[in-house]
Structure 1
Amino acid sequence: MRTVEEHQRVVAGLIGARAPMRVPIAEALGLVLAEDVVAPLSLPGFDNSAMDGYAVVAEDVASASAEHPVLLPVAEDIPAGRTDALTLKPGTAHRIMTGAMLPTGATAVVPVEATNGATDTVEIRASARPTQHIRRAGEDVSAGTTVLRAGQALTPAALGLAAALGLGELTVVPRQRVLVMSTGTELVAPGTPLAPGQIYESNAVMLAAALRDAGAEVVAAPMTGDDVDSFRAALAEHTGDADLIITTGGVSAGAYEVVKDSLGGSVDFVKVAMQPGMPQGAGRIPGGPPIITLPGNPVSALVSFEVFIRAPLRAAMGLPHPDRPRRTAVLTEDLTSPRGKRQFRRGVLDADAGTVTSYGPPASHHLRWLASANCLLEIDEDVDALPAGSQVRVWDLG
């Protein structure tokens, strides 16, 4: 059997980055920059007021106080967005709003709270030091400065900065486009009445959510029965839109293994020394994208995604911290494990206490327990028993 590490290397070798592309900033959240961003202009672009108040010459109001206010005629009213250049004459004031362009000659802004708010002759009831409440041009960003770096994930603040610089698009590493296909004649869509022997399809919903959580884009999630022609037709319909294909089911040793029967010439189907998730496959559609074939049991499918696909997928998109956080924790109970296989058990991690407890049976159909777990316990192939108090490796899924 192939080791976990060997299969991880095979899968990682199939998943590559897409070419950088320009996208509107409204669509760039969470993506990674493919090139540096150099400011095309300064921020602020002009001297402006940091307060609603009055632009003044600081010397004119040096003696102002609540008991002895200084009276100044209001010569102009400057709302934010006024574009004509104004000049403040000594001995006068201009009423000005936050963000409005400062008139030439003004050396300070007095907040409206320190005045009577008049529009004809204003009472200035507090002195102002030079430059008070003035935002100078370029004090945040100077034109020509590199403000965002290639490899940086785009946060709301980074996108706000790009917008403030007038950039409508950014060059990014695009999301991986993934096709998810679940197979099985017994599967029906949720919301459809079940006939005897049928079950609701859950793998496509689960893996599509896992892919989006990892930062990828799901192009489609069709469901097919155990018929080679219908499987190949669904594959052909969507393959051209995908950078990666993931299938679930049809890879074991039964009589109706549609994925094996359809892709035997282009996919290497193997057994991996792990539990759950032993039957695996990886390859490339002739002339098309790579394909990773996962087992059909829900827990096996999601554990396999975590172990083999999530990290290289995130790495191909340049996303930070592609791997799940790993740590060791103290086991609170005795555990057994099948010797010769790497076991991934569902668990509940108490990070504060540094302890972990296995959660639910190890079988691959017990999805309920995985839904409430916050970690995976990783137990080596050469271990068949772990007593309580042992140190165990944990994949933090939180």
Structure 2
Amino acid sequence: MRSVAEHVAAATALVSALPTEEVSLGDALGRVLADPVNSRTDNPPFDNSAMDGYAVRGDEVAAASDSAPVAMIVSADIPAGSGMPDPLAPGTVARIMTGAPVPEGADAIVPVEHTDAFGGAGGPSTRPRGMVTGTPISIAVAPALEAHIRRRGEDVREGDEVLRSGTRLGPWQIAAAASAGVARLTVARRPRVAVLATGDELTAPGQPLPVGSIYDSNGMLMTALAAATGADVVVLPRAGDDPARLLGVLAEASADLIVTSGGVSVGAYDVVKAALASRGVDFVPVAMQPGKPQGLGVFDGTPIVCLPGNPVSVAVSFAVIVAPMLRAMVGEIEPELAYAVAATGWRSPPGRQQHVPVRINPNGTVEPATGGGSRSHLAASLAHGEALAVVAPETTEVSAGDTVGLMRRTW
């Protein structure tokens, strides 16, 4: 029996890195960076204010307090986007808005709330732009040195690496690239994944359900999982349990990877195994639960992964085996295994790495998503699962308070 690590290594060895392409930031969501992103500017690009208030020389208002406010004269009005202001004249303050450049000579910002302008007649909401110079202002709180000033380059300096290659681009990463002045990114081409759920017993959701049939959740599950992992998905036509029909459907697949479900065990009608065992696909037991029976190989030059037919087995097998293959194809950084404390106990089969769909409690502990644990037919448990708890092969029982591995859901 193969270990999980051995099987994943064999699976990722079947795939190759995909070519790259250049996309705009607007088209980059969900893509994986092929080249790192370096900032084209300091960020912030200039010293600017983090508050609406008044730019001051700190030593000139160091004695300010509620009981003895310091009176100053406003010498300038600095809205955001106004360009670089003149240096701050000694003995004066400059009204300044959030994001506006700090004038030379100022070393702190006094928030408007700490002045007599806050909420009163002629305050910041009623004083027109450009008409406050010469206005007296009273400051009631002495600011700390550098208070509310964002200094140039305190986030990143020009040339600093902002995003490393292998990063999957979410909204935060795209914003980081934009703040670095980068408009286009080099990313890996999306993998093209063909999926096929097998079995004469499968009926399309929404159709009348004949006796002895089940609704096809696996087809939708594999399609959604592949798409959520960043792939372009091709759903292959149904092949039923006819080996010749199955071979014909697979032969028409144009993809970087083929993923099937069902028909891989030791039953008399296991169509995938019957059709592919003599065509370059190895069917082996893997020391995992669920998902012990697995098929892996190359069909007509295309890597193919043949998963079991039970829904939880499909979900677990995709996360454990298929997702690393897709990440290898696009050069994505492998996520590290997290850890969590079990809120309750459950049993685990000896000698097999167990993967249990779990809920994450508000206190960070985890518990099985249903009372059924990781049994492979419990499709409903997937709707409640937020992660997979990973139990080592040598562990036969998890007790409340034990630490377990945690594969967080990435879709």
> Are residues 1:55 and 2:70 paired?
no
Equivalent residue, structure 2, for 1:290: 303
Question: Which stretch shifts more, 95-104 or 157-166?
Answer: 157-166
Q: Distance in 2 between matches of 1:387 and 1:75?
A: 73
* Cα pair distance change 1:104/1:198, threshold 3 Å: same
User: Contact 1:379/1:393 (CA < 8 Å) preserved in 2?
Assistant: no
2:154 counterpart letter in structure 1: E
> Are residues 1:224 and 2:238 paired?
yes
Equivalent residue, structure 1, for 2:156: 141
Alpha-carbon shift at residue 199 of structure 1 (Å): 1.9
Equivalent residue, structure 1, for 2:258: 245
User: Contact 1:311/1:322 (CA < 8 Å) preserved in 2?
Assistant: no
Equivalent residue, structure 2, for 1:200: 215
Equivalent residue, structure 1, for 2:322: 309
Structure 1, unaligned runs of 5 or more: none
String of CA shifts for 1:35-60, please: whole Å, max 9, x gaps.
33322111221222232122345565
TM-score by length of 1: 0.72
Equivalent residue, structure 2, for 1:44: 44
Q: Distance in 2 between matches of 1:113 and 1:359?
A: 55
Q: Distance in 2 between matches of 1:47 and 1:92?
A: 19
Which of 256, 274, 280 pairs up with 1:267? 280
Q: Distance in 2 between matches of 1:252 and 1:217?
A: 27
String of CA shifts for 1:164-203, please: whole Å, max 9, x gaps.
1222333345654432211223312111111234321121
Equivalent residue, structure 2, for 1:17: 17
String of CA shifts for 1:97-124, please: whole Å, max 9, x gaps.
0111233454543332233325351223
User: Contact 1:179/1:219 (CA < 8 Å) preserved in 2?
Assistant: yes
User: Contact 2:346/2:373 (CA < 8 Å) preserved in 1?
Assistant: no
Structure 2, unaligned runs of 5 or more: 123-131
Alpha-carbon shift at residue 80 of structure 1 (Å): 1.0
* Cα pair distance change 1:180/1:395, threshold 3 Å: farther
User: Contact 1:267/1:284 (CA < 8 Å) preserved in 2?
Assistant: yes
Q: In angstroms, what is the RMSD of aligned CA positions?
A: 4.8
* Cα pair distance change 1:81/1:230, threshold 3 Å: farther
User: SS at 2:102's partner residue?
Assistant: coil
* Cα pair distance change 1:12/1:56, threshold 3 Å: closer
Counting only pairs closer than 5 Å after superposition, residues 1-398 of structure 1 correspond to structure 2 as: 7-25=7-25, 28=28, 33-58=33-58, 61=61, 66=66, 67=68, 69-72=70-73, 74-83=74-83, 85-117=85-117, 118=122, 119=132, 121-126=135-140, 131-151=146-166, 157-173=172-188, 176-211=191-226, 215-217=229-231, 219-226=233-240, 227=242, 231=246, 235=250, 239-240=253-254, 242-251=255-264, 258-259=271-272, 263=276, 266-272=279-285, 277=291, 279-287=293-301, 289-306=302-319, 308-316=321-329, 317-321=331-335, 360=372, 365=377, 367=379, 375=389, 396=406
Equivalent residue pairs, number: 383
Q: Distance in 2 between matches of 1:59 and 1:343?
A: 65
TM-score by length of 2: 0.70
Identity, % of aligned positions: 40
User: SS at 1:14's partner residue?
Assistant: coil
